[in-house]
Amino acid sequence: MQQYIDFFNSQRQKIDESCAPLLNSFREKAFDTFQGLGFPAYQSEDYQHTNLSALLKPDFGFYLNHPNAEINPHKVFPCNVPNLNSYKHFVVNGCYYREPMAQELPQGIFSGSLNEFAKQHPAVFSEYYNWQVDEKGDGLAAFNTMFVQDGYVLYVPKNVVCEKAFQLTNISGGKVDSLTNRRILVILESGAQAKLLVCDHTTDTQPLLAATQVVEIYAEENASFDFYELEESSPNTIRLTTNFVQQADSSQVIIHNITLSNGITRNNYQVDLEGEHAETHLYGMVIADAQQKVDNFTLINHHVPNSLSNELFKYVLDDEAIGTFGGRIIVVEDAQKTQACQNNHNLLGSSGCRMFSKPQLEIYADDVKCSHGMTTGQLDETALFYMCSRGISIQEAVLLLKFAFTNDVLQSIRLEGLRDRLKLLIEKRFRGELVKCQGCI
């Protein structure tokens, strides 16, 4: 922790140098928060299996002042998902990649650099950026705010419906160990609708590549937002994400987080349902083997009556992989008529893998419908025997059962092109083949 405090104090001018003044104006308060809180404590209730201080202890290099000219994302990871009609954007080592030709967007929509948004829309930026981070007092998110250089913003004005999806590809790479800090800000004004796919990739397998990412999502009254995250990174990758969601009356947010390959991953989700008849649907799927580790933590707060949340996380683990799921739903005293469902189901393919699960409900209202459940087990031996007796090889039978296990998460994806591509990627993953989300596999 002290190394980052010293670096911030000694390099403040360089940190600020190429960033918008508004972006820089949030750093001082974030620094005070980080000094006071530090990284979340290892073995605390919410971080029982991920030691952030140890993960971020190495002497990482920082990417400052946008040094990304040497990486052409179109050649590295084009993420050309077939049949996905989308506006494509890239963030390279934490900074937005500026295309030579600007894409034509529907009137009023902003989709691009965090710095540019701060300059072009200062009033909106000041109203939304970092508000949830300040409100929650999160040490990891404050650390991100201290050092973030750039990021991505999707802003959809009132009653604008965007049929075409937005696709953002995060690329991390370099020749030395490095730490990048990324930011995503999503603002949907009342009645707005949009879909965003974020893909995470790395260009190198040898250097240790760490990244923190903070996502703030604001869904105003009657807004609808689909958010998809897909991680396909290298074994030497550390990915630490913090996602904040705030929803107003009758808004709907659907989130999918899918990890197909990684090193060490920790994903945090905090959803605040602050409007009546707001809905959150949160899905997660993890496929991990070797010595990969994926830790997902969710916190859903029902602050008002008549809101709904639905959670489903599924893990398929093999070899010496470690999976963790921590989920908490809080229903406050006056949040009557709340409906909340939380489920975690896990499939273990070896005696060496480990799964830790802790679903929780805290209910302070008496007129609610809430449930939670967890199952962890192995493939059904009876089903395997039956399939093999019908002439299916044991390898194919195992693959089919694993694929069937993940199917309900896949079917909940509303982007048809992404859903079809993931079916192929998951099948290849279960066969032990290299997976990439480009069209040319």
% pLDDT > 70, the chain: 93
Q: Could you tell me the two tokens for 129?
A: 């950026």
Coil/strand/helix, residue 441: coil
Examine the pLDDT at 52 and tell me if it is beyond 80: yes
Contact assessment for residue 62 and residue 147, using Cβ atoms and an 8 Å cutoff: yes
Q: Could you tell me the two tokens for 162?
A: 């965007």
Bigger pLDDT: 202 or 196? 196
Coil/strand/helix, residue 280: strand
Q: How many residues in the chain?
A: 441
pLDDT for 43: 81
| CA–CA distances in Å: residue 325 to residues 214, 232, 266, 268 | 19, 20, 10, 10
Q: Please report which confidence band the pLDDT of residue 112 belongs to, taking 50, 70 and 90 as the band edges.
A: very high
Report pTM. 0.94
CA-angle at 197, arms to 67 and 231, nearest 5°: 70
Task: Kindly write down the DSSP assignment for every residue of 39-89, as one continuous string.
Answer: SPPTTSTT-SS--HHHHT-S--EE--S---TT--HHHH-----TT--EEEE
| CA–CA distances in Å: residue 309 to residues 149, 265, 402 | 34, 24, 26
| CA–CA distances in Å: residue 178 to residues 39, 61, 64, 172 | 18, 4, 11, 9
Contact assessment for residue 84 and residue 167, using Cβ atoms and an 8 Å cutoff: yes
Mean pLDDT of the 307-321 span: 97
pLDDT for 77: 60
Contacts of 39 (CB under 8 A, 6+ apart): 1, 52, 53, 56, 139, 140, 143
Examine the pLDDT at 23 and tell me if it is beyond 50: yes
Q: Which of 169, 202, 167, 230 has the alpha carbon at shortest distance from 410?
A: 230
Mean pLDDT of the 240-247 span: 97
Examine the pLDDT at 65 and tell me if it is beyond 70: no
**Four-residue CA torsion sign, 213, 209, 198, 433:** negative
